[in-house]
A and B are shown apart, each in its own frame.
Chain A
Amino acid sequence: SAVISQKPSRDICQRGTSLTIQCQVDSQVTMMFWYRQQPGQSLTLIATANQGSEATYESGFVIDKFPISRPNLTFSTLTVSNMSPEDSSIYLCSVRGGSGIFYNEQFFGPGTRLTVL
């Protein structure tokens, strides 16, 4: 399986500020995704991070609020902009499709726990 790291692992932020979360994979992968898990809830897909082009956002998520970059096949960032307490969640990077990985198996990073005051 792919080894995925995320930075920071947790943060406490003030409302109105922005936080950028980094996701690094130890090998090249075809697809990278960002998910949100609100307290006590399941996971919701925010967007698919596309290498070299704009991310594909799911319904209810917009680029101005969650800008995403993916400059290469091993790295992506998610920014949570103009934060409010409702953005307090765990944000998870996920990957699929790489060397030695069955194509449809999808793996997750350790998550970034964000608290907005």
Chain B
Amino acid sequence: SQQGEEDPQALSIQEGENATMNCSYKTSINNLQWYRQNSGRGLVHLILIRSNEREKHSGRLRVTLDTSKKSSSLLITASRAADTASYFCATGANSKLTFGKGITLSVRP
């Protein structure tokens, strides 16, 4: 069964705007990872945040984790047309990763 639930399911923004995607989950986790997938190709690992971390940055990406609310957010700042893709959160527990359904992000030039 899927652990993570992303929100919204689809997001359309203008180039230059920020994109915020949310992920909620149900059970305890060791870590949470965000991935990007372009047009049904392989997944690109974006960032991992551990359960004892609250915020992490990588370039234009900012990830937060609130274990009390069992939720995470991925912020992409100054979006580009090349950011158009599907984004997945995956929760790590018991040596396994469980994926959410994904968010489709469209960035209009």
Chain A complexes with chain B: yes
Given A42-B2, A42-B100, A42-B101, does the pair A105, B40 have CB atoms closer than 8 Å? no
Given A104-B30, A106-B33, does the pair A45, B96 have CB atoms closer than 8 Å? yes
Interfacial chain A residues near B45, Cβ < 8 Å: 1, 105-108
CA–CA, A94 to B45, complex, Å? 11
Interfacial chain B residues near A108, Cβ < 8 Å: 35, 42-45
Q: Does B48 contact A (CB under 8 A)?
A: yes
User: B42–A43 contact, CB under 8 A?
Assistant: no
6 additional A-B pairs beyond A92-B43, A104-B31, A111-B41, beta carbons within 8 Å, are: A42-B2, A42-B101, A102-B48, A104-B92, A108-B42, A108-B43
B62 to chain A, nearest CB (A): 18
Interfacial chain A residues near B99, Cβ < 8 Å: 42-44
User: A110–B33 contact, CB under 8 A?
Assistant: no
Q: Does B97 contact A (CB under 8 A)?
A: yes
Write the chain A residue with the least CB distance to B50. A104
Interface range on chain A (Cβ under 8 Å from partner): 20 to 34
Q: Mark A60-92, 1 if CB is under 8 A from B, else 0.
A: 000000000000000000000000000000101
Interfacial chain A residues near B42, Cβ < 8 Å: 4, 92, 108-111
Interface residues, chain B, with chain A CB atoms under 8 Å away? 2, 30-31, 33, 35, 40-45, 48, 50, 88, 90, 92, 95-102
CA–CA, A20 to B35, complex, Å? 26
Interfacial chain A residues near B30, Cβ < 8 Å: 104
A108 to chain B, nearest CB (A): 4
Write the chain A residue with the least CB distance to B95. A31
CA–CA, A107 to B97, complex, Å? 11
Q: Does A113 contact B (CB under 8 A)?
A: yes
Residue of B30, B40, B44 with highest tally of chain A CB at under 10 A:
B40
Interfacial chain A residues near B40, Cβ < 8 Å: 37, 90, 111, 113
Interfacial chain B residues near A31, Cβ < 8 Å: 95
B50 to chain A, nearest CB (A): 8
Given A105-B33, A107-B45, A108-B42, does the pair A43, B96 have CB atoms closer than 8 Å? no
